[in-house]
Structure 1
């Protein structure tokens, strides 16, 4: 834990800064962050399309690696991403920001991320990307979206938790270096792990699930039917089901994994270590 505790004060200061930013500025940064994460998923879909006969692990590792571009853009440009913003819980626990201000910050960033993701959905649809590679790009999107909404509630929650453990570790790694190249390299593997394994990221899903819904209407019906995507199958991509089966449990899992397991977990460990050292000194 020493590797992380040495940078705990940086995490606390960063969280305090996030919460105390001017609201409009933070909101605009959140829109950009949602857009950047959506772009990363566009890259992922492109890389994994047309690889049905390739090695499953290799394809998903490649897709996960390119997806790390999204977090790189967010961190290097200083944008506000909900899944890393939850680390501000440490600043709250330390008494540097109030619970109310922190929750307000989380809400603004979450909504801003959603707007950014939906802007990209509109651009992807307007650009006709669903027919790329003879429609295989769009079919890949629908397949990914359907997979995401067929988790049980518990599965979605746990996958969301595990995802944000890796995202917040990646961000914590980025705090450990001032060199841009080092920050980039340190973030790649945690992101590649969560994406390639299929963990669930609420903001990425704000792009992938709506674009899956849009493509289910935009792709030619004969193409959808030829791949087994009947109207009955595509009913799972209703807005209500997307929210209840994926976005709610995944968001809660992201909070528990990032704010709880990583942020508050490391903070509590450091506090306990400090108390133990103080007791040892007093006994001496």
Structure 2
């Protein structure tokens, strides 16, 4: 199972960030829809496997749910999809490499946010509401409980939780870029994603599914959802941009520069 060194993953991530902003509008919207739907399906699977379990098995239930949720990110990264949280790391990294503009970042994040939302809402409404996969016992109770827990968080709590989430999700994307085969990519995606779900951090796209699913069932309001969306979006942006993109850019570009200078000095000594 081959893999790249972190400094090489940096270059691969920059290339992916550039590629993302070069997609046409239609490509971006289709791939964003797919990613939003894939993440929603992962959350739907989480609900379906954990809801029937006894409340006395809460810890085990969280672990089981967290172990199946990563299918959404695996499908997004391997089958194809544009996910907002991953783009919050890759596109700013391309900007730091002077490959894309600030406008590219803003347009990409906006289009992917909209298309992710449409994909997640599609699953919440058609599969969750119309088919009833989130609105029959015991699944409805689980859906409402999850949504309520997310909505009751204060702005600061949701913001910080969003940071933790995308620190791990962006790390998963980073590892997937660094693996050279499908098994390695799946393993790299699986464990960080499973960790953020088991901890309970908030993911802006996952929330696009579970909170609207509860709203379609007659609970909560769209204004309450908006109050959650803003801090989680901002927290996810900080987690991906600062804690992965900027951190690794500074760490590995700095080392690369130091290595280059060292090689130049050695070459000059040999010539002398």
The normalised TM-score by structure 1 is: 0.87
Shift of 1:77: 1.3
Shift of 1:213: 1.1
Aligned to 2:21: 19
Aligned to 2:122: 119
Partner SS state of residue 110, structure 1: helix
For the residues of structure 1 that align with 2:160 and 2:135, how far apart are their CA atoms? 34
From 217, 223, 235, give the equivalent of 1:240.
Answer: 223
Aligned to 2:237: 255
Shift of 1:25: 0.7
Aligned to 2:69: 67
From 211, 231, 249, give the equivalent of 1:209.
Answer: 211
Aligned to 1:128: 132
For the residues of structure 2 that align with 1:32 and 1:146, how far apart are their CA atoms? 26
For the residues of structure 1 that align with 2:23 and 2:94, how far apart are their CA atoms? 14
Superposed CA deviations along residues 90-140 of structure 1, whole A, max 9, x for unmatched, are 1011111111012101110010000111111111211022444xx210111
Aligned to 1:98: 101
For the residues of structure 2 that align with 1:128 and 1:168, how far apart are their CA atoms? 32
Partner SS state of residue 200, structure 1: coil
The question of whether the paired residues in 1 share the 8 Å contact of 2:162 and 2:232 is answered with: yes
For the residues of structure 2 that align with 1:129 and 1:280, how far apart are their CA atoms? 61
Structural mapping, 1:1-284, within 5 Å = 3-86=5-88, 87-123=90-126, 124-132=128-136, 135-215=137-217, 217=218, 237-244=220-227, 246-280=228-262
Shift of 1:185: 1.9
The normalised TM-score by structure 2 is: 0.91
Structure 2 unmatched ranges of 5 or more: 267-272
Shift of 1:271: 2.2
For the residues of structure 2 that align with 1:183 and 1:279, how far apart are their CA atoms? 34
Q: In structure 2, do the counterparts of structure 1 residues 190 and 49 end up closer, same or farther at CA, with 3 Å as the change threshold?
A: same
